[in-house]
Amino acid sequence: MESNYSTSEAEKDRLSRELKDLREKSEFLEREKEDFEFRFSLLEDKYKKKEMDLIQSLNEARSMSGSPNTSSDPSPFGDVTLSAIEELTKRLESLQNYVNDLEDEVRSNKEGVSAKDTLIEELTLKSSDAESLQAIIAELKVSNEGKDEEIRRLNTEQSTSQSMQEASSNTEEEEELSHLKNELYTSKEKISELEDNAMVILNDYEILEKDKAELESQNEALQNKIKALSSVDQETNEDEKDAVLKELRDSLERYSVEIQSLSEEKRKLLHALTEKEAQIKNNQIVKCKFYFHTEGSSETNAKLQDTIKELSEKTDTISILSFECKDLSSQVQALKDQVSKLSEAKTDLQLKNEKLESNLKSQHKEESSNVDDGKIVSLESESSSKKNEEIEAMKADLNIVTAELDNIKTENKKLGDLLREKESLLLSTNINKRKTIIKVLCHLKILKVTTLEHNLKDKSDSLSKFEDENQKLRAKISELESESSRKGNELHDLRSLLDKINSELSSASEEQMKLQQVVAEKEFLLKDSKEKSKLYFQDQST
C-alpha cells in the first residue's frame, strides 16, 4: 500500500510537470486558433467583397457593351472563371463545416473531461477510505495490546490478593491499605496514560486531516490540468471518443458501486466496534453487581450493611461533636476577649491611682507653702480623708475586677477540660471509624478478587473473539491492497489514454498548419482568378 502511495506521488509530480508544459502548449495553440479564425474571417470578407466587385464590374461592362451573353453560362468569363469561383465557394463551405465539427468535438471532449474529473474524485475517495481503514486496524492492534497488558495486570492482582489472604489480620490490613494506595496511584497513571493516548490519536487525526487537504489540493490541480487539456483536445476521432466516454461511464458506475459497498462495510465495522466496547463495559458492571448480590456473598453483604450502618452512626456522632467543639471554641474565645478587656481596665485604674497620688502630693506641697501652720493640720486631715476614700473605692473596684478574673479563669479551665474531653472522644471515634472503613475495604477487596477471577475468564474469551476479528480485518486489508493495486493499473491505463490525447493534440497542431497552407493556396488562387478575369474583361472590351 505504501509503495503504491509513493509511486502515485511520483506520478503526480510527473503529471504536474506535464501539466505545465501542456498549459504552455495550450496557450500557444489557443493564440494560433484565434489568429487563424481572425485571418479566416478577414479572408472570407475579402473574398465576398472581391466577388461583389467582380459581379458589379461584369454588369457594368455588359451594360456598356450592350451585347447580351449568348452562352448558356451566365458568366461572361466562361467556364473557367465561374467554375473556379464555385470551387472556392465550396471549399470555403467545407472549411466552415470543418470548423463547426471541431467545435462539436471540443464540446464532446469537455464532457469526457468532466467524466474523467468525477472518476479521479472517486479514486481519491477510495484511497482515503483505504487509509482510514488502515488507521482503524492500527487502533485495533493497539487496543489488543492494551488488553494483553490488562490481563497481565489482573494476574498480578490475583496473586497479590492470594498472598494478602494468607497473611495475618493486622499485617493484612496494613498491606491492604498500601496495596489500595498503589492501585489508586496506578489507576491515576493509567488515566493519564489513556489521556496521553487520546492526545496522540487526536494528533494523528489532525495529521490525517492535513493529508486529506493536501490530496484535495492535488486533486484540484489534476482537475485544472484536465480542463486545460480539454481546451486543446480537438482532434479525437468520433468513434474512439464515444468508446472512451462509454468506458469512462461504465468505470464510474462500477467505482461508485464499489465505493458505496466499502463505505457500508466501514460503517458496519465501526458500529460493531462500538457495540463490542459497550457490551464489555456492560458485562463488567453487571457482573460486579451480580457478585455483590449473589447467594455466596450474603454473609458479606450483611456484614457490609452492618458496617455501613455503624459508619453512618459514627459519622453523625462526629458531626455533633465537631459542632460542640466549635461552640466551645467560640465561648473560650469570648472569655479570652473579656479577660483582655478586664486586664486593660485594671491597668487603667492603676494608672489613675498613681496619677491621683502624684496630684495629691503636689497639691499638698503647694498648700503647705501658702497656708499657716494652723491650717496645715486641717488640710492634711481633709486630704488624707479624701485620699483614703478614693483609695478604698479603687480597692473595691480592684477586688471586683479580681473576682471577675478568678471566675473567668475557673470557667476557662472548666471549658478547657471539657474541650480536651470532647477532643479525646472525637479522636477515639475517628479511630473506630477508620477501623470500620478498613474492614469494609477488606470485604470489598475480597469481592473484587472474586469478580476479577470471573472477569479474567471473560476477557480471555473476548480476547479470542478479538483475535478472530483481527483475522477478518487482515483478510479485509489484503482485499483492499489488491483493490488498490487494481486501481493503480487503472490509473496506468488512464495515463496511457492521456498520452494518446497528447499525441492527438500534436497531430491537431500539424493539421492546423496544413489548414493554414490550404488557406494560403486558396488566397493565391483567388488572386490568380481575379487577374485572369481582368485580362479576359480587357480582351472582351477590345
The alpha-carbon radius of gyration of the chain (Å, integer) is: 56
Q: HSE (CB half, 13 Å, CA atoms) of 244? A: 23
- Say if CB 233 and CB 106 are below 8 A apart: yes
**Which has the minimum average pLDDT: 263-267, 309-313, 375-379, 414-418?**
375-379
Which one, of 94, 79, 119, lies nearest residue 515 by Cα?
94
- What pLDDT, on the 0 to 100 scale, is given for residue 143? 62
Over the stretch 402-453, which tens digit does the pLDDT of each residue have? Answer: 676 667 667 666 766 776 676 667 666 666 666 677 767 766 767 777 777 7
- What pLDDT, on the 0 to 100 scale, is given for residue 450? 73
How many separate helices (H) and strands (E) can be counted in the chain?
6, 0
Q: What is the DSSP letter of 297?
A: T
- Say if CB 422 and CB 138 are below 8 A apart: no
Torsion angle in degrees (nearest 10) through CA of 391, 395, 396, 399: 180
Task: Evaluate if residue 228 carries a pLDDT over 70.
Answer: no
3-state class (DSSP) for residue 505: helix
Task: Evaluate if residue 231 carries a pLDDT over 60.
Answer: no
Task: For the chain, give the mean pLDDT.
Answer: 65
Angle value at C-alpha 58, between 57 and 63, nearest 5 degrees: 100
- Say if CB 280 and CB 462 are below 8 A apart: yes
**Which has the minimum average pLDDT: 76-80, 261-265, 488-492, 506-510?**
76-80
Spatial distance between the Cα atoms of 219 and 128, rounded to a whole number of angstroms: 12
One DSSP character per residue, 26-84 reads: HHHHHHHHHHHHHHHHHHHHHHHHHHHHHHHHHHHHHHHH-PPP-SSSSSTT-HHHHHH
Per-residue buried b or exposed e for 399-423, using 16+ beta carbons within 10 Å of the residue's own CB: eeeeeeeeeeeeebeeeeeebeebe
Question: From the CB of residue 135, how many other CB atoms can be counted at a distance below 10 Å?
Answer: 14
Over the stretch 92-110, which tens digit does the pLDDT of each residue have? Answer: 677 667 666 666 766 665 5
Spatial distance between the Cα atoms of 521 and 44, rounded to a whole number of angstroms: 14
Spatial distance between the Cα atoms of 460 and 106, rounded to a whole number of angstroms: 66
Q: How far apart are the first and last CA of the chain?
A: 90
Over the stretch 311-323, which tens digit does the pLDDT of each residue have? Answer: 666 666 666 666 6
Task: Evaluate if residue 499 carries a pLDDT over 70.
Answer: yes
- Say if CB 251 and CB 490 are below 8 A apart: yes
- What pLDDT, on the 0 to 100 scale, is given for residue 71? 39
Over the stretch 270-279, which tens digit does the pLDDT of each residue have? Answer: 566 556 555 6
Task: Evaluate if residue 69 carries a pLDDT over 50.
Answer: no
- Say if CB 332 and CB 415 are below 8 A apart: yes
Non-local (6+) Cβ contacts of 503 within 8 A are none
- What pLDDT, on the 0 to 100 scale, is given for residue 460? 72
Q: HSE (CB half, 13 Å, CA atoms) of 418? A: 16
Confidence of residue 288 (pLDDT cuts 50, 70, 90): very low
One DSSP character per residue, 182-233 reads: HHHHHHHHHHHHHHHHHHHHHHHHHHHHHHHHHHHHHHHHHHHHHHHHHHH-
The x, y and z cell numbers of residue 39, run together, are 485571418
Report the residue count for the chain: 542
Spatial distance between the Cα atoms of 119 and 171, rounded to a whole number of angstroms: 74
Task: Evaluate if residue 476 carries a pLDDT over 70.
Answer: yes
- What pLDDT, on the 0 to 100 scale, is given for residue 80? 43
Task: Evaluate if residue 539 carries a pLDDT over 60.
Answer: yes
Confidence of residue 353 (pLDDT cuts 50, 70, 90): low
Predicted TM-score (pTM) of the model is 0.23
Q: Per residue, what are the HEC states of 73-95?
A: CCCCCCHHHHHHHHHHHHHHHHH
Spatial distance between the Cα atoms of 349 and 474, rounded to a whole number of angstroms: 100
Over the stretch 153-186, which tens digit does the pLDDT of each residue have? Answer: 766 666 665 565 555 555 655 666 666 667 666 6
Over the stretch 46-59, which tens digit does the pLDDT of each residue have? Answer: 777 777 777 777 77
Spatial distance between the Cα atoms of 34 and 131, rounded to a whole number of angstroms: 47
Find where cell 475517628 sits. Answer: 430
**Structural domains in the chain, sorted by start:** 2-176+224-299+483-541 (no CATH), 303-368+381-445 (1.10.287)
Confidence of residue 137 (pLDDT cuts 50, 70, 90): low
Confidence of residue 524 (pLDDT cuts 50, 70, 90): confident
**Which has the minimum average pLDDT: 131-145, 372-386, 508-522?**
372-386
- What pLDDT, on the 0 to 100 scale, is given for residue 378? 61
Confidence of residue 358 (pLDDT cuts 50, 70, 90): confident
Spatial distance between the Cα atoms of 19 and 229, rounded to a whole number of angstroms: 8
Choose between 232 and 194: higher pLDDT. 194
One DSSP character per residue, 445-485 reads: HHHHHHHHHHHHHHHHHHHHHHHHHHHHHHHHHHHHHHHHH
**Which has the minimum average pLDDT: 72-86, 258-272, 468-482?**
72-86
- What pLDDT, on the 0 to 100 scale, is given for residue 198? 55
- What pLDDT, on the 0 to 100 scale, is given for residue 74? 45
- Say if CB 430 and CB 318 are below 8 A apart: yes
- What pLDDT, on the 0 to 100 scale, is given for residue 2? 46
Q: Percent of the chain scored above 90 by pLDDT?
A: 0
Task: Evaluate if residue 294 carries a pLDDT over 70.
Answer: no
Q: What is the DSSP letter of 296?
A: T
The x, y and z cell numbers of residue 387, run together, are 485620699
The x, y and z cell numbers of residue 528, run together, are 490568380
Which one, of 12, 8, 34, lies nearest residue 487 by Cα?
8
The x, y and z cell numbers of residue 149, run together, are 497488558
Spatial distance between the Cα atoms of 506 and 528, rounded to a whole number of angstroms: 33
